[in-house]
Structure 1
Amino acid sequence: MQLAAFYDSAAGTGLYFGLHDPTGATKRFTADHPEANTRAVRLAWDIPAPDMGRPGNRFVLPGQAVWQLLRGDWFDAARIYRDWVRTHARWFPKLGPEGRADTPLWMRELCAWAMTGGPPNQCVPAVLEFAKALGLPVGFHWYNWHQIPFDNDYPHYFPAREGFTAGVQQLQQAGVAVMPYINGRLWDSRDRGTDDWLFSSLARPAATKKQDGEPYLESYGSKETNGQPVRLAVMCPATKLWQERVAGVVGRLLGECGVRAVYIDQIAAAEPVLCFDATHGHPLGGGSWWNEAGYWPMLEAIRRDKPAEVALTTECNAEPFIRWLDGYLTWHWQHDGQVPLFPAVYGGAIQMFGRAYRGGPTKDLALRMKAGQQLVWGEQLGWLEPAIVREPENFAFFSDAVRLRWQLRRYFYAGQMARPPGLEGSVPTVTADWQWSGVWPVTTPAVLTGAWHLPAERRLALLFANVTDTAVTARVRYDLAAEGLSGSRLVRRRWTPQGSSLPEPAASPLDETVTFPPRQVWAWELSAAD
C-alpha cells in the first residue's frame, strides 16, 4: 500500500506519509537513516518516469503526496488511507450490504484451506479426510496437478495428471472448492525439457526487455534435467500474446476440468518490471501501464468470460488488483511486530487467506499463533497440509478457530475491521520459530484480539484467542460509542465454536476483567437492543 506511519504509541501522535495515486503507478518506498547514530529518518518515494530514455518525455506526479499530523496509531493511519481508497482508487470494488456481489458467496463465506500437491490418488483422499473432519465447506489449493515439473516448462500446463478432472469432481461433490495453481508472469526459456520449444519463436517478442533489449530472466531454485537452473522470462502483461495465453489456461481449467477457482501466481507479489520494448505499445520504463494496459485488461477479460460462481485469486497483497480478484494468498504475513494494516483498509473488499505453516521444535505453538492471528485479523484460516487432522491437539485448536469464524463469517465479508481491543494487566508474550526463512522468531501477546463490525446494522464482534497452555486474566476496555454503539439499550452474546449464549444487557464503554482459558477462542457480539 502507498502509505507509512511513524508514531509514538505512548504520546498518541506521529506522522502520516502517503502517496495517494489512484492508478497504482510503479514506485518504491524507502525509510532509512541517512547518517549513522542519528535520530533522523529519511522517507522517499522513488518513481520511475514513463518513457525513460526518450527525448522530450515529461513527468507528472501520479496522485498526491500527503504529509499529515497523525493522532493515534497504525489503525488511525489505516482509516486515513481507507477513506481515500474508497473514494478515489480505481481498483476499489463496489460493495453492497453483503460485501462484494461479484465474489461468489461460497468464496466470501469460506473459512478454511488445505494446501498440498501431486497426483489425485494422493491428494483426493487426504483432502476429503480434512473436509470431513471439519464438517464445513473448505477450499483446496492444488499444486502440481500438471505433468510438467513445478517452476519448469511454463506455461505448458496441459495435459493434466491422469485422473485430475475426476478428482476435481469427487472433491467438489463433497463440498471442497478446488483451486489449481498456475503462474501469471513467467515463460520458461527452455520450455520443453532442456529444449527451446516455443520461447524464442513465439514468446520472446512478448517478454519484458531490459534497455539492452535482452529479456528479464528469473530463477527460483528449480533445475533442468541437466542440473542447470531453470531460467524463466517475465512476460509483458500489456502484450496480446500473454493476455490471451493466461486467459486460455484459465479457460481450459474451467471448461475442461470444472474447477471452482483458479490461483494465478505472482500478480500481487512480484514488482512491476521496467520494460523497454517499444513494440509492446506501452510507455517505456515506468508509469501505470503495468496495471492500466497490462493486468487490469487481462483480468477484466478473464472475469468477464468466467462463470459467476468461479473465484480468481493470486499471491500476496499488492493493492492495485483487488477489484479484479476475489482472494489474496497472505502466506507471507510472517513478521515479528506486524500489525493488520491491510485488513484494516481492505477488510470486506477482498478475502485474505493462508499462512505458511511449517515445522521445527516450536511448530505447535507457532501453529496456534498463526491460526489465532488469522482468526482475529479476518483471514480465511489454514493453507496447510490436510494431514493436520492426524495431530489431535493442533487440529482441535485449528478447527475451533475455523468454526468460530464460521459462526461470525458475515462480519468478514459484509463488514470491516474495527479497532482491536487492548488488554490491560500482566498479559504475557509468547515466542515461537515461524520458520519463514531459516530460524524466524516471532513474538505476540498470549491473547490475540480483533474487532469486526457491521456499521449499518450497529453490530460489533470482539474476538479473542488464547494461544498458550495457561489461563490469562486481563482487563478489557473498549469504547463502543466510537464504533456507533452508544446508549443504554445494548445487548451482548458470547460466541464459541459451538454457538452463542442468550443475549444479556451490556453497557458502553465496555470495562471488564476477564479470564481467558488456555487454547481457546471465543467472541463477544454486541448490538443495539432495538
Structure 2
Amino acid sequence: MNILLGGLLAVAAADTLWLQNDRLRLGFDPTNGSLLELADRASGQSFVDGRRATAIWRLDGLGPGALRVVPSAARRFFWHEVAGGGPGLALVWSDFGLNEAPGLRVTATVRLLGDSALSEWRIAVDSPGAMAIEQVRFPRLTGIPQLGSGEELAVPRWMGALARDPATLLAGPDGKGRRLEWAYPGTLSLQVMALYRRGGAGLYAAADDTLAYRKTFAIWGDSDGSRGYELIHPLENPASPRRQWALAYAALLGTFHGDWITVAERYRAWGTRQPWARESRLVRGRVPDWLLRTGMWVWNRGRSAGVVPPALALQRALGLPVNIYWHWWHHGPYDTSFPDYLPPREGVDSFRAGVAAAHAAGSHAMVYMNQRLWCTGTPSWASEHAAHWAVKEKDGRVREETYNVFDPQPCATMDVTTPFWRAKYAGIADTVLDGYGVDGIYMDQAVQSLVCWDSTHGHPVGGGNYWMGGFRALAAQIRAAAAPGRQVLLAGEGAGEPWLPELDLMLTLQVSQERYSDPSSGWEPIPFFQAVYHAYGVTYGNYSSLVMPPYDELWPAQFAPPPPGPLELLDTRFRRQFYLEQARAFVWGLQPTIANFRASQLTDRPEETAYMMRLARIRARVLEYLLYGTFLRPPELSVPSVDVDLSRVSIYAARRGGPTVSVARYPAAIAGAWRAAEGSVAIAVASIVDEPTSVSFAFDPAAYGLAQGGQIERIDEGGRRPFGEFSSTVVPIALELPAGGAYVLEFRRSRRP
C-alpha cells in the first residue's frame, strides 16, 4: 500500500511504514509504532538497529517503584496521516489495561521538515486518570551503532565539549556501559547534541523550546557496544489530575554530514532568530561601555592590597583597560559562609578605598556572590528561617551541595523564584553596588536551573520553566535598585542561551579544562557556544595562572600549604599550558583573563606575561571580529604537534590527593576564523611554543563568501601591514611565527579607507 503525503512518499509495506524525503528516511513498524530506521539517505547510514525495534517513548510514574508505561503495553495501536504542515504521521497507542488510567492514550506525531534532513517529534498523553506521571522520555533511540574511525560526540556542556572516542567513553570503565546526561537550561548551553563520524554522517538531536522548559538530554552505551539516546521531559505538578499533557515544544531528530561546527551552524540558523538573541544585552546595547573596552581581566582573591595594585600594575604594562574579577572579598570563608558576605573581610572603609583606587586608575571591579547557595552552618540560616525558601527534594528535604574539600560544610540551594531569596540577594547586591561602589556582580552558579518540589513557593512543582522566570526577576530587581543611569554589570558562571537577555558577561572556563579535570576524562573543550552566539554575548574566563593556587586565610590552618605558602611560582615546564589557555581564549573570541596575578610576575615570568599581553593587544585591534564577529570554520593548519606538560592543580582539584601532572599532545599553533558585520574575514593564529614555528594553511575565498577577491593585511601588536592579495582561487598561506608569536590575517574585499 502506497500513501502520498504532501508530495513525499510514505509506504506502508507488510513490515515497515516509511516517512522519507531525499535526505532523511524514517521507518516504523505499522503494527506497534516502533522505530525501525532513522537513516541518512546520502550515505545509507542508519542510526537505529533495524533488527530490534525501538520503543520511542516511556512514561515514568511518580515515586519509588512507580509504574512505567511503554508502547508494548498497549493492546491497541493505529497510525494515520497528519494533515497540514508538511508530511507527517500520528502514531497512537491505547487500551493499556490500567485500572488507574483506563482511558490512557499516547499520541506521537512525527513530521519531516520540508526537504531538510530534520524531523519534528511531538507527544501528547490523553486521559492519564489517576496515574501521576513524573516524566516522559521522548524520543528514545536504542541500538545506535558505532560509526567507526573518526567518530565524535559533541555536547554544548556550557562552552562545549568534544569526545573523540565516544566508544570508549560510553563503554565506561568496566566496559559494561555508561550513561551520561545533561540538564537544560543549565549545564547545556544549547538544546542540541550530535554523534557523528568526522566527514561522514551524523545524528543531530535537538529541541526547539523557546520558553526554557526543564529537560534532560541523555546518551548511554550498552554492553554490546550499541548506544541509546533520549530526551527527558519532567512534568509540572505531576501528582495533579489532568485530562491531557502535551509537550510544549518539539524534539528534533535528523542527520547531517560534517562535524560539530556543521551542527553549530545549523543550530545558529535557528537560535539567532529566537527572542534570547534578539533581546540579548549585547545586541540591544545594554552592556556597560567599560565592559566592551576591557583589555584583560585579573582574577584575584582576598583583600584589596592583593587584588587592586596587581591589576593596576598590569594595566600600566599592557596599555589597555584591566578590570578586576574579585573573589574572597567577603566576610566569611569561601564556600562555607554564603550569603553572609557583609561586611568585607578587610572592613568597609578599606574595601571602599580599594575600589576607589581602581576607579581612579580607570579600572572596574566585579565581586563574587554565589547566586543560589546558603550555607547551613551560618547563623543566618537559622535566624532568618531560610530553610523554608530552599529548593526541596521530592521527599521534602532541603537540597544541599558541598564544595569545600578542606571544611566540607553543606550549603542549601535557594529557590530563585521566591521573593524572599530574591530580596535577600538583591539587598546584598545593592549594598555592594551602591554602598561600596563596586561595578558589577559575578553571580556564581547563575547559569543553572533546578527542579523544586516545594508547593508553598508559588511555582509548579517538578518540571516547568519557572526557574528562568525567577532569574529574570532577580536580575531586574538588582538593576532597578541602581541609581538612574548607573551601568550595573551582571556576570554568570557558565554560558546559556536563555540568559543572554539578563547577563552582560558569561564565564566559560573550559579553555582551562586541563587545570581542574581528569586528563583521561575523554573530553576536550570546543567553542560550541561561541560558534552559535558569539555576536550575541560576551564571554571571558581562564584559570590560566603562573602560580600555585591561593588558599583562603579563613580556611582551616592545618591544610594551608607549607612555606613558601600559596602563590608559589609554577615551574616553567608548564609554560606551554599557559600559552595554550591564553591562545584558546584569543582565537575563540573570549575576553582574556589571568588568575592569581602579582606584579612581580612581569619580571619573574617575562615570557609568559609578554605572551598574554601580546594576544590582548592584537585582540584590541580587531574587536569587530573577536568581540562582535560571527564564528566561522577555521582553516586546517599544517603545523607539528608538541608535548605539553599539564598542571592539574586549582583551588580544590588535587589539593587533597590525586594526580597533578600529565602530558598531552597539542598542535604547536591554533587558529580561529571570524566574520565582521560588514563581511570581511579574519583568521587569528597563535603559537603555543617558545620557539619559531612555521604555519601554513589554504584559504578558500569562496568558502568564506569572498569569491570576488581582495586584499590581505597582517595584524600584530604593533599594527597593520599589507600581506598580499587574493582572487577567487584557493590561496596558500605561509606564516613564520616567532617564539610565542601570534597574528591576525584580515581578508577584505577592498582596502580600508
Q: Establish whether TM, by shorter chain, passes 0.5.
A: yes
Post-superposition shift, 1:434?
4.6
Within 5 Å, give how 1:59-458 maps onto structure 2: 59-88=245-274, 90-94=275-279, 99-160=283-344, 161-162=346-347, 163-192=350-379, 197-199=380-382, 201-221=384-404, 229-268=408-447, 270=448, 272-292=449-469, 294-306=470-482, 307-333=485-511, 334=513, 337-358=524-545, 361=571, 362-387=573-598, 388-389=601-602, 390-424=604-638, 427-435=640-648, 437-438=653-654, 439=660, 441-455=663-677, 457-458=678-679
| Larger RCO (CA within 8 A; separation ≥ 6) | 1
Q: 1:117 to 1:519 in 2, by over 3 A?
A: same
Post-superposition shift, 1:231?
1.9
Q: Which amino acid aligns with 1:157?
A: Y
CA deviation profile, 1:478-506 (whole Å, cap 9, x unmatched): 22233322213x11110001211147433
Post-superposition shift, 1:518?
2.7
Post-superposition shift, 1:35?
2.7
Contact residue 325 and residue 366 of structure 2 kept, 8 A: yes
Q: Distance in 1 between matches of 2:358 and 2:267?
A: 41
Q: Distance in 1 between matches of 2:735 and 2:580?
A: 20
Post-superposition shift, 1:477?
1.2
Q: 1:139 to 1:475 in 2, by over 3 A?
A: same
Q: 1:217 to 1:337 in 2, by over 3 A?
A: closer
Post-superposition shift, 1:320?
2.1
- Find the partner of 1:15 among 193, 196, 203: 203
Q: Which amino acid aligns with 2:696?
A: R
Larger Rg: 2
- State TM-score, norm by structure 1: 0.90
Q: Secondary structure at the match of 1:282?
A: coil
Q: Distance in 1 between matches of 2:443 and 2:611?
A: 30
Matched, 1:486 2:707: yes
Q: Secondary structure at the match of 1:16?
A: strand
Contact residue 50 and residue 287 of structure 1 kept, 8 A: yes
Post-superposition shift, 1:155?
1.5
Q: Distance in 2 between matches of 1:157 and 1:500?
A: 47
Q: 1:59 to 1:275 in 2, by over 3 A?
A: same
CA deviation profile, 1:123-152 (whole Å, cap 9, x unmatched): 222222122221210111111212222123
Q: Which amino acid aligns with 1:432?
A: D
Post-superposition shift, 1:95?
6.4
Q: 1:395 to 1:149 in 2, by over 3 A?
A: same
Q: Which amino acid aligns with 1:13?
A: A
Q: Secondary structure at the match of 1:422?
A: coil
Q: Which amino acid aligns with 1:219?
A: T
CA deviation profile, 1:183-235 (whole Å, cap 9, x unmatched): 1101122223xxxx443643121111122222112211166xxx6x3221111
- Find the partner of 2:239 among 35, 44, 53: 53
Contact residue 31 and residue 44 of structure 1 kept, 8 A: yes
Contact residue 151 and residue 222 of structure 1 kept, 8 A: no
Q: 1:33 to 1:314 in 2, by over 3 A?
A: same
Post-superposition shift, 1:249?
1.7
Post-superposition shift, 1:323?
1.4
Q: Which amino acid aligns with 1:81?
A: Y
Contact residue 150 and residue 222 of structure 1 kept, 8 A: no
Q: 1:443 to 1:316 in 2, by over 3 A?
A: farther
Contact residue 152 and residue 222 of structure 1 kept, 8 A: no
Contact residue 446 and residue 467 of structure 1 kept, 8 A: yes
Post-superposition shift, 1:308?
4.8
Q: Which amino acid aligns with 1:444?
A: Y
Q: 1:56 to 1:321 in 2, by over 3 A?
A: same
Q: Secondary structure at the match of 1:237?
A: coil
Q: Distance in 2 between matches of 1:58 and 1:447?
A: 56
Contact residue 104 and residue 308 of structure 1 kept, 8 A: no
Contact residue 348 and residue 413 of structure 1 kept, 8 A: yes
Contact residue 451 and residue 460 of structure 1 kept, 8 A: yes
Contact residue 500 and residue 536 of structure 2 kept, 8 A: yes
Q: Distance in 2 between matches of 1:448 and 1:65?
A: 35
Post-superposition shift, 1:510?
2.9
For the aligned residue pairs, the C-alpha RMSD in angstroms reads 2.3
- The range that moved more, 366-375 or 50-59, is 50-59
Q: Distance in 2 between matches of 1:66 and 1:444?
A: 35
- Please, which runs of 5 or more residues in structure 1 have no aligned partner? none
- Please, which runs of 5 or more residues in structure 2 have no aligned partner? 1-189, 515-522, 549-569, 655-659
Q: Distance in 2 between matches of 1:305 and 1:452?
A: 38
Q: 1:504 to 1:304 in 2, by over 3 A?
A: farther
Contact residue 99 and residue 415 of structure 1 kept, 8 A: no
Post-superposition shift, 1:524?
0.5
Post-superposition shift, 1:168?
0.4
Q: 1:441 to 1:81 in 2, by over 3 A?
A: farther
Q: Secondary structure at the match of 2:446?
A: coil
Post-superposition shift, 1:170?
0.5
- Find the partner of 2:741 among 516, 520, 528: 520
Q: Distance in 1 between matches of 2:200 and 2:238?
A: 43
Q: Distance in 2 between matches of 1:245 and 1:134?
A: 39
Q: Distance in 2 between matches of 1:62 and 1:434?
A: 46
CA deviation profile, 1:345-390 (whole Å, cap 9, x unmatched): 1102111111112556542110000001110000111231222424
Q: Distance in 1 between matches of 2:243 and 2:422?
A: 28
Post-superposition shift, 1:122?
2.8
Q: Distance in 2 between matches of 1:242 and 1:443?
A: 47
Q: Which amino acid aligns with 1:427?
A: P
Q: Which amino acid aligns with 1:94?
A: E
Contact residue 272 and residue 533 of structure 2 kept, 8 A: no
Q: Which amino acid aligns with 1:451?
A: A
CA deviation profile, 1:21-76 (whole Å, cap 9, x unmatched): 2122222222221234x2x2212222222113334385432422112221221111
Q: Distance in 1 between matches of 2:389 and 2:197?
A: 49
Q: Distance in 1 between matches of 2:413 and 2:280?
A: 34
Post-superposition shift, 1:109?
3.0
Post-superposition shift, 1:337?
3.2
Q: 1:471 to 1:12 in 2, by over 3 A?
A: farther
Contact residue 51 and residue 57 of structure 1 kept, 8 A: no
Contact residue 113 and residue 380 of structure 1 kept, 8 A: yes
